[in-house]
Chains A and B, each alone.
Chain A
Amino acid sequence: MIEIDGLTKRYGDKTAVDGLSFVVEPGMVTGFLGPNGAGKSTTMRMIAGLDRPDSGTVRVNGKHYPEAAAPMSELGILLDARSVHPGLSARNNLMALARTAGIGRRRVDEVIELAGLGEVAGTRAGGFSLGMGQRLGVAAALLGQPQTVVLDEPVNGLDPDGVRWIRELLKSLAAEGRTVLVSSHLMSEMAQTATQLVVLGRGKLITEASVEDFVDHATGTGVLVRTPETVRLGQLLAAPGITVINDGTDLLRVSGTTAEQIGAAAWRAHLPIYELTPTHASLEEAFMQVTKDSIEYHAGATS
């Protein structure tokens, strides 16, 4: 479990993380979303005790991580930037980390196999491709069989096979009762892997919700109704919590109620319905909606 409370981090006069509070529960995969510069990586670095918060606290499995007796059993982390020594082989990079916790050669070989690095274990990590480097980083994070796993952009640079590997891996870690926090820019990937979401924008928490709720609350999720009687149906459906939008055609976008209820109401009032389609926003659409005000770097028009 990761408990973050009132976390703030400034670099000079820039506030990277601003009064952030959220909890990551064990036993499920939590997606960590936010536009570039939202403070995800900074938050992850503070979870691992690499950066010191200006205020607020981070607790990993109920403890202040830098004081953990057996850190590698508590937390395994993959950071966005590469953190391996290019002059050491994959195996020696892992051995050096493993030795700090008395982890033996057998476990090192196990994670090497798990990460699909068997053939290059003796090769210097400096020559690794981005994808190989990511696999090595993930192997390092899993080395101590930690209770909590934090991965920043793990699928970055991975081939489709690697992407599927990460997906299955994250799910199995969660199924073992571990806490899994993972950031990704690939919304479709996140939608398939995560069940819970933490969304950041400009260092602040935008929302903390299940993937289902997050998508349901996005506009675009609702029911599309085609009827010649748009005005009468609109009046009929009007109620608190229900919004009906008509763009002047014979289409109504209704949110806050179900297709069944709309169909039944139309039937009772003898209104013809030509089409009744439940629609779902994608996670990506939902994400764009909630973060549109907090995107740090807009793609500017080229002058």
Chain B
Amino acid sequence: MSAATETRPVSTHGTPAPATVAGPVTQVRVVRAEWTKLQALRSTRWCALAAALLIVGLGAAIAGSGTPYHVSPGNTAASGVSVALIGVLFAQLVIGVVGVLAFSGEYGTGMIRATLAVVPSRLPVLWAKAIVLVGLVLPVTMLCAFGDFFAAAAIESSRGGSVLSLTDPGVLRTVAGSSLYLTVVVITGLALGALLRKTAAGLSVFAAVFFVIPVSVGALPQNIRGFAPYLPSNAGGALWGSPLGSGHVLSPWTGFACLCGYAIVLTVLAAWQLRRRDA
């Protein structure tokens, strides 16, 4: 038997850390977390359904009414397809709502505190939201755009209009471009939601920039209307020949690059504010 007395620990500092199940935060894990939220929210499903109905439904309705579309020197196949994609102008509001809500919804409910407490470096949350929104909006709207094209083309030709083909000049760019446009729109909405935090504020600014200003700018005198082509919706609209842009000044890809530029600037601002401000 040992006579030595056991030394009792004076503090618990030296004891091994208690068991834990939590691993390190990685970008991939945060993406999975954001996907868990996005796919489980009812609003996501409703918005995806609404966007699909607006794009395909309006396109089919337009193709089935009025005089059938005939390709002529003044009316290219691409501009015929742009008209069939008019639903994109309405769908962009729905898509914008999804984008804004991705952040403002969390600020509004208070979930943002739980989210940022488990990802205290914060930025992975913004990137993850952007990734899952692109992962949702790009395939869904791409499917809708092509579905709309094939539906409209079939209806036009059945009514005696021109046969529109994806291989006609600019048609593929127009169809795919409308989906790319909506994908950048959702990122713009996300950045606005992150910057403004309030759903009402985010949606108001989004609607003003993408609807109100582009429409009311037509009422301005010609000499001070020069900025109109650079409005996000008009610049991005150049890619898919948005019927609202009335004679696109910018070339399709320049216009799209311009829209992407706005989205990038807003996202960088959102990232900076997310790091800097109290949650």
7 closest Cβ contacts across the A-B interface?
Answer: A144-B22, A72-B22, A99-B33, A73-B22, A73-B20, A101-B22, A66-B120
Q: A105 vs B27: C-alpha distance in the bound complex, in angstroms?
A: 19
Is the Cβ of B24 less than 8 Å from the Cβ of A85?
A: no
Q: How far is the CA of A177 from the CA of B106 in the complex (A)?
A: 34
Contact B29 A50 (CB under 8 A): no
Q: Which of A84-118 contact B (CB under 8 A)?
A: 84-89, 92-93, 95-104, 107
Please encode chain B, from 106 to 130, with 1 for each CB lying within 8 Å of some chain A CB and 0 for all others: 1001111111111111100000000
Determine if B3 is an interface residue (Cβ-Cβ < 8 Å). Answer: no
Give Cα distance in the complex from A178 to B20, angstroms.
Answer: 11
Q: Which residues of A contact B40 (CB under 8 A)?
A: 88-89, 92
- A30 at the B interface (CB under 8 A): no
CA distance A5 to B24 in the complex (A): 27
Residues of B whose CB lies within 8 Å of any CB of A are 11-13, 15, 17-26, 29-30, 32-34, 36-37, 40-43, 105-106, 109-122, 276, 278-279
Q: Which residues of A contact B11 (CB under 8 A)?
A: 25
A100's contact among B12, B33, B43, by CB below 8 Å, is which? B33
B111 touches A85 (CB 8 A): yes
Q: Does A188 sit at the interface, judged by CB under 8 A?
A: no
Q: Is the CB of A176 within 8 A of B278?
A: no
In angstroms, Cα B17 to Cα A61, docked, is: 10
> Told that A72-B25, A102-B22 touch, could you supply 8 new A-B pairs with CB distance under 8 A?
A71-B119, A79-B113, A83-B113, A83-B114, A145-B18, A146-B20, A146-B22, A176-B18
Given contacts A26-B12, A81-B110, contact A69 B117 (CB under 8 A): no
Once the chains bind, are A99 and B32 in contact (CB under 8 Å)?
A: yes
Chain A, range 51-68, C-beta contacts under 8 Å to B: 51-52, 61, 65-68
Minimum CB–CB distance for A255 against chain B, Å: 31
Contact across chains for B17 and A48 when beta carbons are under 8 A apart? no
Q: In the complex, what's the smallest C-beta–C-beta distance from B135 to chain A, in angstroms? A: 15
Can you spell out 24 A-B residue pairs with CB atoms less than 8 angstroms apart? A27-B15, A45-B113, A48-B120, A49-B116, A50-B113, A52-B276, A66-B120, A67-B120, A75-B117, A84-B109, A87-B105, A89-B40, A93-B114, A95-B33, A98-B33, A99-B29, A99-B30, A100-B118, A101-B25, A102-B26, A146-B20, A146-B22, A147-B18, A176-B18
Contact (Cβ within 8 A) B12 A72: no
A144: chain B residues at CB < 8 Å are 20-22, 118
- Check: A232 CB closer than 8 A to any chain B CB: no
A1 located at the interface, meaning its Cβ lies under 8 Å from any Cβ of chain B in the complex: yes
- Given A99-B36, A100-B118, A101-B118, A69:B25 Cβ within 8 A: yes
A164: Cβ under 8 A from any B Cβ: no
